[in-house]
């Protein structure tokens, strides 16, 4: 970092306005952020001693963990705000530095819980004591379970079922062994074709990572508020896919 800063200071057309860090992803405790504050303020103090710099901004990045399934841990944002601010004020006072403008990048923590993916059940297969529920999406609209095993908790919506819950695996339509949206989840035993399954916490990455896998068009995105819905992104059509084909 100090080498990069020296290069920036050597460029008369560049102005160094602050420091930024990114600690990782799905962080559910405040402790790493407090350690980051101490280390970054220490770097700011060295820059002040060596170059006379007083940086006005400090960006702690994101990585705020959210719960994809009930019972999973999530970052306590209220505790994060309180403890990080106190740590920053204390560290700057110890280093005789003014407190910089603090920036965070909540990203997933904001849009993740705001989104719900909705699928139609296409077929239900019972084999070897296990139930597979196939839906009209999969790897094309959510590759994360196949890529790195992110767990989700699908729920039956649109009708009330009194059937007992039973273990099931929700799979996609793409005819791939890895096309699994949720493995070993509890769904009503009477789940059937035509049902709707909702997958909570789908607001982050579903849209941005969606693809035309196996030439399946990307799904639409709708905004819902107070019982009213409006389309934000229309469904990708076959004409959209064909429009890129310039012919032989």
Exposure b/e, 90-115, CB count within 10 A at least 16 = b: ebbeeeebeebebebebebbebbbeb
Q: pLDDT-derived band of residue 101, with 50, 70 and 90 as boundaries?
A: very high
**Same domain assignment for residues 6 and 71:** yes
**Same domain assignment for residues 77 and 56:** yes
- C-beta of residue 16 within 8 angstroms of C-beta of residue 7: no
**Same domain assignment for residues 10 and 94:** yes
Q: pLDDT-derived band of residue 2, with 50, 70 and 90 as boundaries?
A: confident
Q: Quote the pLDDT of residue 162.
A: 95
Q: Which two tokens stand for residue 121?
A: 């059940």
Residue 188 confidence (pLDDT) above 90: yes
Q: Quote the pLDDT of residue 81.
A: 95
* Domain contains 248: no
Overall domain count for the chain? 2
* Domain contains 6: yes
3-state secondary structure (DSSP) of residue 63:
coil
Taking residue 179's Cβ as centre, other Cβ atoms within 10 Å add up to 20
* Domain contains 247: no
Q: Quote the pLDDT of residue 228.
A: 96
**Same domain assignment for residues 129 and 225:** yes
Q: pLDDT-derived band of residue 186, with 50, 70 and 90 as boundaries?
A: very high
CA 136 – CA 167 distance, rounded (Å): 20
**Same domain assignment for residues 152 and 88:** no
CA 193 – CA 157 distance, rounded (Å): 13
Task: Give the end of a domain, one of 60, 91, 108.
Answer: 108
* pLDDT average, residue stretch 211-219: 92
Query: How confident is the model over 33-80, as pLDDT tens digits?
Result: 999 999 999 999 999 999 999 999 999 999 999 999 999 999 999 999
Catalytic one of 164, 175, 215, 226: 175
How many CA atoms, within 13 angstroms, populate the side-chain half-sphere of residue 13? 0
Query: How confident is the model over 130-139, as pLDDT tens digits?
Result: 999 999 999 9
Residue 152 confidence (pLDDT) above 90: yes
Structural domain span for residue 162:
116-242
Q: Which two tokens stand for residue 32?
A: 């790493």
Q: Which two tokens stand for residue 183?
A: 């493995």
The CB-based long-range contact list for 48-56 (8 Å cut-off, 24+ gap) reads 48/95, 48/97, 51/5, 51/9, 53/9, 53/16, 54/97, 54/98, 55/16, 55/17, 55/18, 55/19, 55/100, 56/17, 56/18, 56/100, 56/101
**Same domain assignment for residues 99 and 174:** no
**Same domain assignment for residues 131 and 74:** no
CA 210 – CA 215 distance, rounded (Å): 12
- Residue 25 has what DSSP assignment? S
Q: Quote the pLDDT of residue 248.
A: 78
> Which residues contact residue 42 at a Cβ distance below 8 angstroms, ignoring those fewer than 6 apart?
91, 95
CATH number for the domain that contains residue 192: 2.40.37.10
Q: How far is CA 75 from CA 66, 80, 90, 188, 199, in A?
A: 7, 8, 23, 31, 21
Task: Give the end of a domain, one of 108, 124, 141.
Answer: 108
Kindly list the strands in the beta sheet with 196-200, ordered across the sheet, starting from the edge strand earlier in the chain.
155-157, 196-200, 116-127, 130-135, 165-171, 180-188
175 given a catalytic annotation: yes
**Same domain assignment for residues 76 and 168:** no
- C-beta of residue 111 within 8 angstroms of C-beta of residue 204: yes
**Same domain assignment for residues 58 and 130:** no
**Same domain assignment for residues 135 and 185:** yes
Q: Quote the pLDDT of residue 247.
A: 83
- C-beta of residue 147 within 8 angstroms of C-beta of residue 209: no
Q: Quote the pLDDT of residue 128.
A: 84
């Amino acid at each position: 970092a100090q080498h990069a800063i020296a290069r920036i200071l050597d460029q008369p057309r560049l102005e160094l306005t602050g420091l930024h860090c990114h600690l990782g992803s799905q962080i559910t405790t405040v402790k790493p952020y407090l350690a980051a504050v101490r280390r970054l303020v220490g770097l700011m103090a060295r820059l002040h001693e060596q170059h006379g710099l007083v940086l006005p901004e400090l960006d702690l990045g994101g990585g705020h963990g959210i719960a994809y399934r009930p019972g999973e841990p999530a970052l306590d944002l209220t505790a994060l705000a309180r403890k990080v601010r106190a740590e920053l004020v204390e560290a700057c006072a110890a280093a005789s530095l003014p407190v910089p403008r603090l920036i965070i990048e909540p990203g997933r923590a904001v849009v993740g819980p705001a989104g719900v993916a909705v699928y139609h059940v296409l077929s239900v297969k019972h084999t070897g004591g296990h139930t597979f529920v196939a839906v009209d999406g999969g790897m094309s609209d959510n590759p994360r379970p196949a890529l790195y095993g992110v767990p989700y908790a699908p729920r039956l919506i649109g009708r009330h079922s009194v059937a007992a819950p039973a273990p099931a695996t929700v799979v996609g339509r793409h005819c791939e062994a890895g096309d699994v949206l949720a493995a070993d989840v509890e769904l009503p035993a009477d789940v059937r074709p035509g049902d709707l399954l909702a997958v909570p916490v789908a607001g982050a990455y579903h849209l941005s990572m969606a693809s035309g896998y196996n030439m399946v068009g990307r799904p639409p995105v709708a905004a819902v508020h107070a019982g009213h819905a409006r389309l934000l992104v229309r469904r990708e059509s076959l004409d959209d896919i064909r429009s890129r084909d310039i012919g032989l």
